[in-house]
Amino acid sequence: MKVKNLKIVLSFLFLIVVIGLFKLQVINYSYYCSLSKENRIRINPIIASRGDIYDREGNVLAKSRLSFNLAVIPQEAKKNETLLADLSSVVGISEKRLRNNLKRNTINYFVPAVIAEDIPRQQALYIEENNLNYNGAIIQTAPLREYLYEESLAHVLGYVSKLNAREYKKLKYYGYKAIDLVGRAGIEKSYNSYLKGEDGGFQVEVDNRGRRLRLIGYKKPQKGKDIYLSIDVGLQNYIYSLIEKKKGAVCVWNPNDGKILAMVSVPSYNPNIFINPNDEKNKEIRSIFSSPPENSPLLNRNIQAIYPSGSVFKIVTVMCGLETQAINKQSEFNCPGYIRLGKSLFKCWYRKGHGDQNAVLALKNSCNVFCYKVGLKVGIDNLSDYARRFGYGDCTGIDLPSEKAGLVPDRHWKQKLYNERWYDGDTVSLSIGQGYLQATPLQILRMASVIANGGYLVTPGLVNRIEDVNMGVGKIESCNFKMENLDTMGEGMDLVVSETGTGKRAQVEGINIAGKTATIQNPHGKTHAGFVCFFPYDVPEHAMVVFIEHGGSGGYEAVGIAQKIISYMKEEDII
């Protein structure tokens, strides 16, 4: 009986073994065969370089340098429990951090996952030379972004950083990897699809100890496309050196085609801190992102900061008067230093008054009273309409992300927002660029360039060409202004930089400059200083806006900076 029972038990156990073998070798054959092949065949990705970025003369602004990354095969790390601890002692990174990186970057148990980036060359060579002691560890080379001019060009170029977990989850189905870099601002973001290369890689067969036996397949990585900007890096750096301790913006461009030679915004930041962040860099990054929006170094004040336009808006007011025939070139208004509306007194900046003023003299002297009277004569509907014709209240269309549109107020806007009607006092304030009006420095530059180029609204651009493909110029549309009125405006702006004009500090020997100053009221402290100009006056090739927050008088601070920039351009034969 006992023998019979033993035979039954043994038969049952044998049946279990047979079923297990059948399941292993027949039912799950494909799975284990695939697992075996994956264990035998290793895929090593080769990260493609991003395209380089150059200035107009071919000087490198952003490039990719070679770096060494430490990766491990997750399956090997699972089998060898001390692997991460051993590697931690070599690279000087905690085992906990290496383990977290492994978890984040694991795609497949047999595909290498990066656990440490940009390790020193000596460490990479040591691990490679002692590969048998670190079975499952692989040294990979990868391109790393490098910005050569740091703060000076940060707002033009932007920066790149790795995908966060939420972004990776969304983009992994489009071929992105957890370690991929993407453009976050500036040219890097606007032209990310051109700059991003196509990754390659190779497949190798390994033995049971992870040693390479033979190369099975290879795909060459494709570098991203190189981009050539219209920026003059020498001029860019010079302007940054002039204003780096201030807060504001400067932009220089060609008023005829919109190509930008320099665009500087301060305060700025070093885009290199976002590349392979460490504890020290993370501290800087946290400081940047914790700054109030109005003080953020990430804010490109040329296109993202909005201010009252100030006295440069008088160009719009006077032009509106001429175009609607509310005034002509000879029309005069007397400036006693103020006008009275009901119980309110609206003063001119020159308290003694300018006396009799026409369109040309009013621009030269920046007379408030003349513009008050023109504004009242044309009315808010015409004034807001001509502001929009000059490009206010709309994005310029520059090839940079996150541009602000600003605001052109009118009676409908005020009724809707405040449930109040529009008053003559509102029109008076708008006529000198104060009140509800909001504009970016680049919009102001675009507006003044209409006078410089003969009446055209030009779309700004930063890219000359991508590889060998010329990008041409942006949209250029006529404002349909009368040439005699444009000439009158140019004549007045020319006198602004004369011996007795408000912008006389901008004078540069041998160059005739036309401009308009602005001292912009600021409820939060010292006035802002602004100046917009174009030169040479007879055949304008360049236009510039200078805007300094809390800079005081536009005729002093902003104009003084502009004079230095124009002098530099003359000395360097840019003009």
The SS3 of residue 310 is helix
Give the per-residue pLDDT at 338: 95
Give the per-residue pLDDT at 171: 78
141 and 246 housed in the same domain: no
The SS3 of residue 151 is helix
321 and 428 housed in the same domain: yes
Would residue 17 count as lying in a domain? no
Omega before 536 within 30 of 0, i.e. cis: yes
388 and 471 housed in the same domain: yes
Q: Note the Cα 572 to chain centre separation in Å.
A: 27
Higher pLDDT, 111 or 215: 111
The SS3 of residue 557 is helix
Percent over 70 (pLDDT), the chain: 90
Give the per-residue pLDDT at 32: 44
243 and 389 housed in the same domain: yes
Mean pLDDT of 115-144: 87
- Rounded CA separation 462/233 (Å): 12
- Rounded CA separation 28/220 (Å): 35
Would residue 37 count as lying in a domain? no
Element holding 227 (H helix, E strand): strand 227-229
Q: Burial of 21 by CB count in 10 Å (0-12 exposed, 13-18 middle, 19+ buried)? A: exposed
Residue 512 neighbours by CB under 8 Å, 6+ apart: 494, 535, 536, 537, 538
- Rounded CA separation 313/320 (Å): 11
462 and 446 housed in the same domain: yes
CATH number where 544 lies: 3.40.710.10
Q: Note the Cα 488 to chain centre separation in Å.
A: 37
Picking from 207-216, 249-258, 282-291, 429-438, which range would have the lowest pLDDT averaged per residue?
Answer: 207-216
For 153-187, the pLDDT digits (tens) are 999 999 998 888 788 888 777 777 777 889 999 99
Q: How many CB atoms lie within 10 A of CB 44?
A: 16
377 and 326 housed in the same domain: yes
For 369-387, the pLDDT digits (tens) are 999 999 999 999 999 999 9
For 519-534, the pLDDT digits (tens) are 988 777 789 999 999 9
Would residue 25 count as lying in a domain? no
Q: Which sign does the torsion angle of CA 256, 259, 261, 267 carry?
A: positive
Picking from 90-99, 196-205, 448-457, which range would have the lowest pLDDT averaged per residue?
Answer: 196-205
Residues in a beta bridge with 395: none
- In terms of residue numbers, what domain contains 358? 233-266+302-571
Mean pLDDT value across the chain:
89
Mean pLDDT of 255-267: 98
CATH number where 126 lies: 3.90.1310.10
- 517 and 496 Cβ atoms separated by less than 8 Å: yes
DSSP 332: -
DSSP 511: B
Last residue of a domain, one of 229, 257, 276: 229
Give the per-residue pLDDT at 36: 47
Examine the pLDDT at 37 and tell me if it is beyond 70.
Answer: no
For 20-34, the pLDDT digits (tens) are 555 545 565 554 454
State how many domains the chain has.
2
Residues in a beta bridge with 227: 53, 466
Would residue 495 count as lying in a domain? yes
185 and 325 housed in the same domain: no
- Rounded CA separation 539/490 (Å): 11
Q: What pTM was computed for the model? A: 0.87
255 and 219 housed in the same domain: no
Last residue of a domain, one of 173, 207, 229: 229
Would residue 398 count as lying in a domain? yes
182 and 259 housed in the same domain: no
Mean pLDDT of 488-508: 94
- Rounded CA separation 95/103 (Å): 12
Residue 357 neighbours by CB under 8 Å, 6+ apart: 332, 333, 334, 335, 365, 367, 369, 370
Q: Burial of 494 by CB count in 10 Å (0-12 exposed, 13-18 middle, 19+ buried)? A: buried
240 and 222 housed in the same domain: no
Examine the pLDDT at 484 and tell me if it is beyond 70.
Answer: yes
Predicted confidence band at 471 (pLDDT cuts at 50, 70, 90)? very high
Picking from 39-48, 70-79, 233-242, 343-352, which range would have the lowest pLDDT averaged per residue?
Answer: 39-48
Give the per-residue pLDDT at 552: 84
Would residue 416 count as lying in a domain? yes
Residues in a beta bridge with 215: 204
The SS3 of residue 270 is coil
For 140-152, the pLDDT digits (tens) are 888 889 999 999 9
Examine the pLDDT at 209 and tell me if it is beyond 60.
Answer: no
Structure tokens at 227: 């981009």
Task: Identify which of 46, 277, 271, 222 has the alpha carbon closest to the alpha carbon of residue 142.
Answer: 46
Would residue 558 count as lying in a domain? yes
Examine the pLDDT at 208 and tell me if it is beyond 70.
Answer: no
Backbone φ, ψ for residue 18 (5° rounding): -60, -45
Element holding 469 (H helix, E strand): strand 469-470
Give the per-residue pLDDT at 40: 63
- 395 and 404 Cβ atoms separated by less than 8 Å: yes
- Rounded CA separation 73/84 (Å): 11
115 and 243 housed in the same domain: no
Mean pLDDT of 490-508: 94
For 297-339, the pLDDT digits (tens) are 999 999 999 999 999 999 999 999 999 999 999 999 999 999 9
The SS3 of residue 255 is coil
Q: Which sign does the torsion angle of CA 21, 27, 29, 34 carry?
A: negative
Structure tokens at 139: 């040294």
For 58-101, the pLDDT digits (tens) are 999 999 998 899 998 888 788 888 888 889 889 899 989 998 98
335 and 204 housed in the same domain: no
Last residue of a domain, one of 204, 229, 254: 229
Would residue 262 count as lying in a domain? yes
